[in-house]
Amino acid sequence: AKESGRNQLQFYEAAMHSRIAERTMIEAELRHALARDQLRLHYQPKVDLRTGAVVGMEALLRWQHPTLGMVSPARFIGVAEETGLIVEIGRWVTRTACFQNMAWQQAGLTPLRVAVNVSARQFRDPGLRREVQAALSDSGLDPRYLELELTESLVMHNVDGAVAVVKELKRMGIALSIDDFGTGYSSLAYLKLFPVDYLKIDQSFVREMLTEPKVAAIVRSVIALGQSLGFKVIAEGVETEAQLAYLRRHQCDDMQGYLFSKPLPADGFGELLRSERGL
């Protein structure tokens, strides 16, 4: 038993060292990712469940590294956040999304809203509003075609401060949504203070709602609650026809998920819009 305890300890140490090594490497490489043009945005459609039409898209960051390959956001967003690199990367994301969206509009495609994820560090950055404003005016994009996704845990962390920032952003004319809804702690009393447009039901609920009756009850409640507070409700991570049918039956507004489309590179997304594939 003693022997296996030691082996296990060595195993943990080795695992920890490789985690630290990976982190250090990612941190070092991420510092150059922007300058070396290794970052891209992919776009995933958001679809109106009633009409089946694409009504918007979420921009998702992709990092193509020459030797590490495609590094997923799960591996580098946290590092970017801790090192503060997310502020610069986030600025690039917002600008790129605005310019790309403007390019699609200028190419004659139906104007749609592009959503950008905002991390905690960016949200607390006093320059956020100015940078969003600059991205809009430099690209020429109408503010109503930009949406910021703020996670529930982010806005519920310091409610007074967050409400003030959300109100400022809202005054700029952009759309706002609360992402990963249901995974954090939300007080209904606080929720009504946020002038947001959308609640995004987290994909963990969508994944379990057809097998766990209690999860289904949560999903139905979030749809009803969100709509009664004046929000639109979108479900993310929709992968099956059965999930789609359930969400439709319970009058969820919009959906996003692999069933309709994975996140696509900009040219692929443009193709999808041109072909106007409906649900």
**Helix orientation angle between 73-83 and 85-106, rounded to the nearest 10 degrees:** 120
Q: Which does 73 bind (CB under 5 to 8 A by kind): Ca ion, ligand C2E, none?
A: ligand C2E
Contacting Ca ion within 112-131 (CB under 5 A): 117
The alpha helices in the chain, defined as continuous H runs, are 2-33, 73-83, 85-106, 120-124, 128-139, 152-157, 159-171, 188-191, 203-208, 213-228, 241-249, 266-275
**Which is nearest to 178 in space by CA: 135, 107, 123, 239?**
123
For residues 175 to 214, the per-residue mask of contacts with ligand C2E, x marking binding by CB under 6 A and - elsewhere, is: ----xx----------------------x-----------
**Quick check: 87 and 122 in contact, CB under 8 A?**
yes
Alpha-carbon span 159 to 154, nearest angstrom: 9
Our finding on whether 149 is near Ca ion (CB under 5 A) is yes
Our finding on whether 180 is near Ca ion (CB under 5 A) is yes
Nearer to ligand C2E, 102 or 116 (CB): 116
Q: Which does 266 bind (CB under 5 to 8 A by kind): Ca ion, ligand C2E, none?
A: none
Our finding on whether 51 is near ligand C2E (CB under 6 A) is no
For residues 52 to 81, the per-residue mask of contacts with ligand C2E, x marking binding by CB under 6 A and - elsewhere, is: --------xx----------xxx--x----
Distance of CA 271 to the CA centre of its chain: 22
Our finding on whether 265 is near ligand C2E (CB under 6 A) is no
Helix (H, G, I), strand (E, B) or coil at 233: strand
**Residues found near ligand C2E in the complex (CB under 6 A):** 44, 60-61, 72-74, 77, 86, 90, 93, 117, 119, 179-180, 203, 236-239, 257-258, 263
